[in-house]
């Protein structure tokens, strides 16, 4: 049995409920829906975190945020924690990344470790394949050399902006947002990167390489700012072209980056809510359009049946739900319930739908389990992971597909607020910090009820205190808090959360994170951060 090629796609900021295969009534995702129908779809996939950095660290290590310790832009992945790409490389894979999110591709946080080639489409000076360069060879070579020089200069600056509270707050001013969001490629160049992946796969077909492939791609299309091409806006929201008020709303939101993650001081009005949700859907439809070409290329490859493709989101996005926007502070499903699709012809049955809650951190275990299928490959996996090698095989999602879930159909999320946004709110609307408890850590657990036909239940704690309990089958928007009505259920779920937190803390102590949060003399903030677990 040979090792399969592995295509690992992260749809950054993609809500599950805005895709047709997850029940959305709009035709936003016909290509993704067809691809999902050819494999397995996990109906209740739960992200271990609500924003990019801790979520990607979990995808790359298989650990919950407390365990891997990378919860802020000022932290980096410890060298003692094996990165997925590093392990795949040890297993003999060619490792390549195509990334559009600067938090993954630009920040010096250890997320690029293990990739032999890593193309970064975000930031001021993107790095792209030679085949993506439109200039003839001599000019392109000179341009690439000059760009590499500028990249060496710009990366420390971009790292400083990403890690410095003051620089971050300055960047949020409305007159600067259009500059860094477009000129500095905040959202990357998503369609271009997908075209480059298609070209790479086609070129690889001609080279007939025997080396297995691990390809990672991050698409950031559905993140603000929203500016999908007109044809997709017209398809989703035909009124938008003719409504000056609607266009003005979108222009305001696209340039006011501070609002992308701040709690709402007042609820959105009816038109504002409609415009934002429609423009999000237009971005989903645009993303689906260019993914169609990638799915077609995958279907035509000689190794089609020897290719495992996993599509997942790192987190969702709040669009005014629960009076929050963006993905900074809460554990509701609009942020932590994400799409998760496995496609492997001949290995994963078509039209499989899995109702059991699963953590998306198990993508790590699933890929490694598939990459080392034989006894001959086990020593390499053992060498890379040590005592965790058996753990990796045990937590593979193949067991859940076979009806034997190793985690008793239970998944957790840990909400560590991004401190750069906390400081931004503190400087602009400090009253919101207390009102929405923006410095309080939150945790959530999702698992089926022991009765009620296994309806998924969800408990949310704030500062380790149970505060919300929802029946997700009867109440998908999470508006009917059942905590007082079902105290015994809440107690059982709270126990599960406490056990998970203790387990993650022990894992963290065994291998501490690679960097610490640095502060400037705010003792109150220090006290809150100790409660969050950021400080000793």
CA 442, CA 501: separation in Å to the nearest integer?
Answer: 11
pLDDT in tens, 454-500: 789 999 999 999 999 999 999 999 999 999 999 999 999 999 999 99
Distances in Å between the alpha carbon of 175 and those of 63, 178, 258, 358, 479?
39, 7, 12, 42, 37
pLDDT number for residue 531: 45
Structural domain boundaries in the chain: 5-320+333-532
Which residues, at least 6 apart from 119, have a Cβ–Cβ distance to it below 8 Å? 96, 97, 98, 99, 126, 127, 128, 129, 193, 196
Under CATH, which number does the domain 5-320+333-532 receive?
Answer: 3.40.720.10
pLDDT number for residue 375: 62
Q: How many CA atoms lie within 13 A of 95 on its CB side?
A: 17
Mean pLDDT of successive 10-residue stretches along the chain, which has 536 residues: 92 98 96 98 98 97 96 91 95 97 90 96 85 58 46 50 56 66 85 98 88 97 96 97 97 93 94 98 98 98 96 97 95 98 96 97 96 74 71 90 95 96 92 95 94 83 97 97 96 96 89 51 46 43
Q: What is the CA radius of gyration of the chain?
A: 22
CB–CB of 9/310 below 8 Å? yes
Place of tokens 């050399």: 145
Q: Is 458 helix (H, G, I), strand (E, B) or coil?
A: strand
Question: Which of 350, 385, 387 is closest to 368 using CA atoms?
Answer: 385
pLDDT number for residue 529: 46
Read off the DSSP letter of residue 388.
G
What's the whole-model pTM score?
0.90
CB–CB of 453/472 below 8 Å? no
pLDDT number for residue 161: 52
3-state SS, 78-124, equals CCCCCCHHHHHHHCCCEEEEEECCHHHHCCCCCCCCCCCEEEECCCC
pLDDT number for residue 181: 72
pLDDT number for residue 208: 73
């Amino acid at each position: 049995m040979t090792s399969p090629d592995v295509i690992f796609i992260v749809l950054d900021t993609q809500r599950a409920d805005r895709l047709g295969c997850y029940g959305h009534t709009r035709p936003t995702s016909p290509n993704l829906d067809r691809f999902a129908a050819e494999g397995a779809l996990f109906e209740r996939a739960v992200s271990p975190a609500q924003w990019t950095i801790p979520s990607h660290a979990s995808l790359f290590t298989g650990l919950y945020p407390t365990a891997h310790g990378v919860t802020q832009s000022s932290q980096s992945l410890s060298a003692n924690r094996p990165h997925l790409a590093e392990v795949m490389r040890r297993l003999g894979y060619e490792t390549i990344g195509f990334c559009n999110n600067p938090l993954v591709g630009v920040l010096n946080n250890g997320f690029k470790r293990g990739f032999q080639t890593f193309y970064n489409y975000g930031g001021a000076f993107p790095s792209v394949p030679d085949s993506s360069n439109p200039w003839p060879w001599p000019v392109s070579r000179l341009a690439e050399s000059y760009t590499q020089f500028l990249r060496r200069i710009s990366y420390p600056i971009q790292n400083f902006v990403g890690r410095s509270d003051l620089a971050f707050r300055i960047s949020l001013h409305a007159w600067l947002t259009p500059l860094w969001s477009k000129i500095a490629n905040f959202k990357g160049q998503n369609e271009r990167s997908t075209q480059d992946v298609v070209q790479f796969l086609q070129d690889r077909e001609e080279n007939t390489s025997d080396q297995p492939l691990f390809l990672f791609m991050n698409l950031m299309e559905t993140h603000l700012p929203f500016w999908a091409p007109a044809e997709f806006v017209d398809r989703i929201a035909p009124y938008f072209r003719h409504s000056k008020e609607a266009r003005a709303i979108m222009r305001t939101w696209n340039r006011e980056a501070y609002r992308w993650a701040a709690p709402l001081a007042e609820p959105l009005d009816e038109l504002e809510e409609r415009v934002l949700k429609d423009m999000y859907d237009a971005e989903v439809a645009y993303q689906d359009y260019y993914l169609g070409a990638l799915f077609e290329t995958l279907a035509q490859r000689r190794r089609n049946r020897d290719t495992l493709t996993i599509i997942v989101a790192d987190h969702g996005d709040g669009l005014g739900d629960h009076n929050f926007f963006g993905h900074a502070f809460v554990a509701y499903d609009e942020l932590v319930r994400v799409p998760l699709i496995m496609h492997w012809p001949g290995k994963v049955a078509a039209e499989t739908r899995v109702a059991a809650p699963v953590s998306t951190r198990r993508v790590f275990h699933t890929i490694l389990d598939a990459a080392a299928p034989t006894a001959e490959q086990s020593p390499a996996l053992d060498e890379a992971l040590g005592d965790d090698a058996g753990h990796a095989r045990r937590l593979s999602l193949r067991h859940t597909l076979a009806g034997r879930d190793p985690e008793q159909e239970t998944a957790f999320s840990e909400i560590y607020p991004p401190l750069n946004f906390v400081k931004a709110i503190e400087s602009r609307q400090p009253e919101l910090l207390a009102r929405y408890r923006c410095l309080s850590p939150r945790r959530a657990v999702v698992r089926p009820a022991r009765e009620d036909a296994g309806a998924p239940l969800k408990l949310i704690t704030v500062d380790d205190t149970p505060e919300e309990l929802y029946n997700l089958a009867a109440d998908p928007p999470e508006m009917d808090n059942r905590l007082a009505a079902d105290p015994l259920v809440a107690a059982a779920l709270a126990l599960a959360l406490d056990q998970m937190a203790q387990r993650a803390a022990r894992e963290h102590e065994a291998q501490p994170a690679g960097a610490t949060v640095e502060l400037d003399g705010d003792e109150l903030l220090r006290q809150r951060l100790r409660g969050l677990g950021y400080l000793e």
